[in-house]
């Protein structure tokens, strides 16, 4: 099998409702859909899902201009050679890892289909039969957060993540209200998205959250403040989860060496693909640190890629965010992902287990963010 064509198509898919976090308000996901075709007619899919650095759609040009020429003609199983080539042609910043991840995912999808096996078998095999899920709650007035929490628990979810920002009083009030209404049966995670500037401020907030038995506090400090995160880990009775501090396996190594996280939230786009995400999970297992799988949130392709990582990881210590597609009003794929009682079941094989819907891809396609439009043959009016 050889790759004969590789293309990234920018899309904009609306969320079911706008979502507010410490990073701002998100109403749409502007991502890229990577389509890889092989000489036997097989198609592999990947997704550039990123809300940083101008969003994932802005990275489609990297795929089309720089990565496609080094991928076309190659064997999709040759992932090591792909990464070597990608490191040569890209000015390798953090944001470009999401483009690399999308291409790697498409190659794994092709390889899985060629071998007749699901991608998780290519990553080490099925390590568990189901993955417990967590759904996020936005920054909003307490009544609105509780309304959404009631809806999600009614759908079977047993762990929810409360988003926090600069208003610590509001966050404590939300967590207290969640615990009062749902009692001990609800798992509560807290995600600060780097909202605290000083370790002392973060520790003061964590002390206020302790009475409500939260499962973890995620990324309270800026990504580069590994020393501050280590201080929190040493002094907090609540487990500290690293998110923005860990993109690549190298980041994970630095954080784990510094003992700056009790748990690492692993993202496929930030890790440069499912293989890099599994490397981070392996490092955590070796270091005795916990693992959760994070979400941007992705569309169906990216969610499927994260699911295969979650099902093959050697350990999974907290409910994970592998349900990004549920935040969206629509998708560009027909997904085979199944959720029952708040648990994700293994994706069907072979490959990722999702199928591209060409009509919806065309409907949500947007012009190339750099102003050019190399996708004229796909041009249609985007769905409203």
DSSP 66: I
Bridge-based pairing state of the strands 343-344 and 131-132: antiparallel
Query: Distance of CA 257 to CAs 230, 260, 370, Å?
Result: 10, 8, 40
Question: What is the tally of helices (H) and strands (E) in the chain?
Answer: 14, 15
Q: Tell me how far apart the alpha carbons of residues 72 and 237 are, in angstroms, rounded to a whole number.
A: 51
* Residues listed for the chain: 384
If the chain, 384 residues long, is cut into consecutive pieces of 10 residues, what is the mean pLDDT of each piece? 97 91 84 97 96 84 96 98 93 83 98 97 97 95 96 96 93 98 97 95 97 98 97 97 95 97 97 97 96 95 98 96 95 91 93 96 90 35 28
Of 217, 265, 224, nearest in space to 240 by CA: 217
Residue 54, pLDDT score: 65
Region for 16 from its dihedrals, namely left if φ exceeds 0, alpha if ψ lies in -120 to 50, beta otherwise = alpha
Q: Tell me how far apart the alpha carbons of residues 20 and 162 are, in angstroms, rounded to a whole number.
A: 11
Q: For residues 347, 353, 359 and 361, what is the CA-based torsion angle, rounded to 10 degrees?
A: 80
Count Cβ atoms within 10 A of the Cβ of residue 345 and give its class: 0-12 exposed, 13-18 middle, 19 or more buried. Answer: middle
Supply the pTM of this predicted model. 0.93
Q: Tell me how far apart the alpha carbons of residues 62 and 103 are, in angstroms, rounded to a whole number.
A: 11
> Where in the sequence of the chain do the CATH 3.30.390.10 domains occur?
3-117+356-378
CB-based contact 191:21 (threshold 8 Å): yes
The CATH architecture of the domain made up of 3-117+356-378 is 2-Layer Sandwich (3.30)
Residue 314, pLDDT score: 94
Of 61, 83, 56, 69, nearest in space to 6 by CA: 69
The CATH architecture of the domain made up of 121-354 is Alpha-Beta Barrel (3.20)
Across 226-241, b (16+ Cβ under 10 Å) vs e yields: bebbbbbbeebebbbb
Kind and range of the H or E run holding 174: helix 168-182
Kind and range of the H or E run holding 163: strand 159-163
CB-based contact 242:272 (threshold 8 Å): no
Q: Tell me how far apart the alpha carbons of residues 119 and 125 are, in angstroms, rounded to a whole number.
A: 8
Residue 142, pLDDT score: 96
> Where in the sequence of the chain do the CATH 3.20.20.120 domains occur?
121-354
Token digits for 181? 């209404």
Angle at 98 between CA 96 and CA 104, to 5 degrees: 110
351: helix, coil or strand?
Answer: strand
Cβ-based neighbours of 147, under 8 Å, separated by 6 or more: none
Cβ-based neighbours of 135, under 8 Å, separated by 6 or more: 152, 157, 159, 160, 161, 321, 323, 326
Query: Distance of CA 348 to CAs 113, 118, 132, 328, 373, Å?
Result: 11, 7, 18, 21, 35
Residue 374, pLDDT score: 37
Beta bridge partners of 190: 162, 217
């Amino acid at each position: 099998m050889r790759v004969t064509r590789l293309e990234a198509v920018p899309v904009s898919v609306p969320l079911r409702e706008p979502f507010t976090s410490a990073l701002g308000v998100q109403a749409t996901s502007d991502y890229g859909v990577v389509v890889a075709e092989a000489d036997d007619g097989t198609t592999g899919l990947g997704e550039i899902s990123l809300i940083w650095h101008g969003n994932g759609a802005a990275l489609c040009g990297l795929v089309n201009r720089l990565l496609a020429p080094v991928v076309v003609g190659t064997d999709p199983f040759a992932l090591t050679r792909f990464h070597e080539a990608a490191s040569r042609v890209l000015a390798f910043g953090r944001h470009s890892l999401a483009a690399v991840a999308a291409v790697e995912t498409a190659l794994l999808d092709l390889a899985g289909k060629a071998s007749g096996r699901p991608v998780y078998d290519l990553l080490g095999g099925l390590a568990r039969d189901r993955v417990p899920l967590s759904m996020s709650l936005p920054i909003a007035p307490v009544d609105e957060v509780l309304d959404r929490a009631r809806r999600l628990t009614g759908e079977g979810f047993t762990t929810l993540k409360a988003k926090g920002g600069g208003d610590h009083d509001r966050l404590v009030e939300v967590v207290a209200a969640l615990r009062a209404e749902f009692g001990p049966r609800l798992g509560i995670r807290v995600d600060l998205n780097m909202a605290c500037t000083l370790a002392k401020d973060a520790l003061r907030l964590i002390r206020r959250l302790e009475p409500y038995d939260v499962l973890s506090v995620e990324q309270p400090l800026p990504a580069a403040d590994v020393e501050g995160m280590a201080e929190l880990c040493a002094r907090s009775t609540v487990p500290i989860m690293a998110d923005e501090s860990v993109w690549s396996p190298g980041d994970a190594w630095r954080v784990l060496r510094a003992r700056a996280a009790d748990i690492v939230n692993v993202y496929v786009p930030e890790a440069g693909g499912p293989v890099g995400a599994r490397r981070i999970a392996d490092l955590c297992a070796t270091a005795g640190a916990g693992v959760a799988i994070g979400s941007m949130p992705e569309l169906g392709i990216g969610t499927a890629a994260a699911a295969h990582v979650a099902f093959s990881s050697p350990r999974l210590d907290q409910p994970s965010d592998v349900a990004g597609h549920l935040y969206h009003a629509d998708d560009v794929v027909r997904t085979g992902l199944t959720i029952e009682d708040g648990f994700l079941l293994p994706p069907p094989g072979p490959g990722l287990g999702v199928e591209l819907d060409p009509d919806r891809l065309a409907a949500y396609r947007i012009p190339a963010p750099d102003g050019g439009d190399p996708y004229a043959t796909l041009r249609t009016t985007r769905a409203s």
